[in-house]
Structure 1
Amino acid sequence: MKNRLTSQQKITFCQLLGDLLTNGFSLQQALYFLQTTDTFPVELVQLVQKNLHSGQSLSKSFAQLNFSADQVLQVALGEMHGGIALTLKGIAKQMLLVQKQRQNFIKAISYPALLLLFLLLILLGMRTLLLPQLLESGMIAVDNPSILFIQAAPWFVIGVLLIGMLLLILWNYWGKKQSYLIKYSFLAKLPLIGRLHRDYYSAYFALEWGKLFDQGLELQQIIACLLATEKESLMKELAASLQQQLVQGQSLAHQLKAYPFLTKEFGQIVQQGEVRGNLGKELLVYSQLVWQRFFARLEFLCSWLQPLVFLLVALLIVSIYVAMLLPLSSGLEGIW
């Protein structure tokens, strides 16, 4: 049995399950309804039902269904604070927005990527077929800059791709040996990606902590809830780190300012909320604002990505024409 749902099935599963729970269905009744709809693989719904019958948590089933670590943690916290229906619908909404941005990204990059591949094939064809004939005819000098460009360009593109693949392999190798705190602190310091990274996790933490504070839980209770979750995650490691520093007498707001993967204003929001006694609601409002900012920035980057890639393609096309025509014109001038 393949314990996987497609991205669209995950969105539908969370949305339907959240809607059914909101409308008064018990968890078992909701799962039985989902089983009869034939929308999802029956064996996967039965797996969730079996886990619940054996006393396992819903978050455990979400981990088996290949939901992300962050989503599994959200479900676990939702079970703890009693807002599982709202949590599931929130996950569905976030996944839908991410899916939309992913589709926009693919649309923006697919056509330029095909053009780049086509240009690479042209350069390889010129290098292997056209250049040898021109060099043998004596019309073009071997050390001509345009000739050197045509010879080097394909290797340059291939080299960039290989370096990119090597960096990904090194990142995966290094990341497996590091804690979540170290990995995500490093990502938050990278240009361009770092800002999106900080917005995403600030909104995510504000949402989950806001719900817990709004339920009336104290900070130590929230930390205990996070440490009790089964799967390792950034939030769990952060809770352990906060617990150690709270014992030393440091305030929560002061500690949060030291983590690079959180925005600078996150600690200020916490400090203001603690003073006013309304921390839960302020974090929930802040979460909505940062989510809006995150997706606005993501959409802005996608909107600029295609023009930039097209500009790069245009420059390559011009370079290829120049590389072909200049040597030929120089050769013709020599003949005349």
Structure 2
Amino acid sequence: MPVSDSPSTSRRLLALLSLLQARRDWPAPVLAHRLDVSERTIRRDIDRLRELDYSIEATRGPDGGYRLQAGSQLPPLVFDEEQAVAIALTLRAAGSLGIDIEEAAARALGTVTRLLPSRLVHRVGNLEAADAAGRRTAQVDPDVLLRIGEAITAGEELRFDYASPSSSGAEEPVRRTEPHHLLLHSGRWYLIGYTTEREDWRVYRADRIRPRSHNGRRFTPRTVPGGDPARFLSARFMGSTGADTWACWGEATLDLPLAAVVPYLGDGSAEAVGPDRSRVRLGAWSWGALAAEFLRFEAELSAVEPADLRAAFAAVAERSARAARGARPLGP
């Protein structure tokens, strides 16, 4: 095997490390072939990496090989260009993850960016303006997410204080729930848990959770209604306790051509009932909200169904009339 064609020791060590990171087990003959060196050279290189605190286990078997394991500390890592770009893009989007890690992410991004080739730095940097204009969300302490995740994995009841927006400032009782799923939705983290006191499923915003120092009893995992945690959470935001759909649906005929309606339907539907009229079906979390959805279209409405939606239009009309007069509703 031509030693003169072998890469330098440093370059070869980096190439070897990259291969070890890519898969669990590497037979020694395969590594030697990939790096165009002898198996003896591979053994020496493995020893050099071990001296640099990489935990590499020798595997037994017909081929004999090596496996990179987790060590007591994080050693230097090697990434190819695609991996480095993916890491940089993910770090740049850290602010949209709803976790309070932006400072650490910025430092990590600076480290990665300094090592990228100039042609890749420009590609990653082009996203900065768009990211700076992104929506800000409530940030979660990463330790809180880790605590919740540990409770889910261990199957232990989570005990926590909850900063509910409806609280009057008085001390509230410690909450308890069986934590089942932790999901990211629209830039915020949510915990789906089963509360035995109410014998019902509850959804909690993770940024309002302050875990107590000790968890509660162990529990047997349950299946979230419908079997899909993401669809269950989406349904709750739609005001539904069942399927992943709006709690209220209604129809009305609008004095607008179909082309003027279609761009604003969202998950609704419409069909033309004339050159300048459309039959529109929309959904919302409440009848009042559904009436407001239809009123987004500045057009006359007719043939409104069902009766609950007609009643909601009447209530909205009364409130609108009072607002126009500057009057307040009667009552205590």
| Band the TM-score falls in, shorter-chain normalisation | under 0.3
Please report the TM-score for the alignment, with normalisation by the length of structure 2: 0.23
User: Which structure has more RCO (C-alpha within 8 Å, separation ≥ 6)?
Assistant: 1
Q: Choose between structure 1 and 2: higher strand proportion.
A: 2
Q: Indicate the structure (1 or 2) with the bigger Cα radius of gyration.
A: 2
Which of the two has greater helix per residue?
Answer: 1
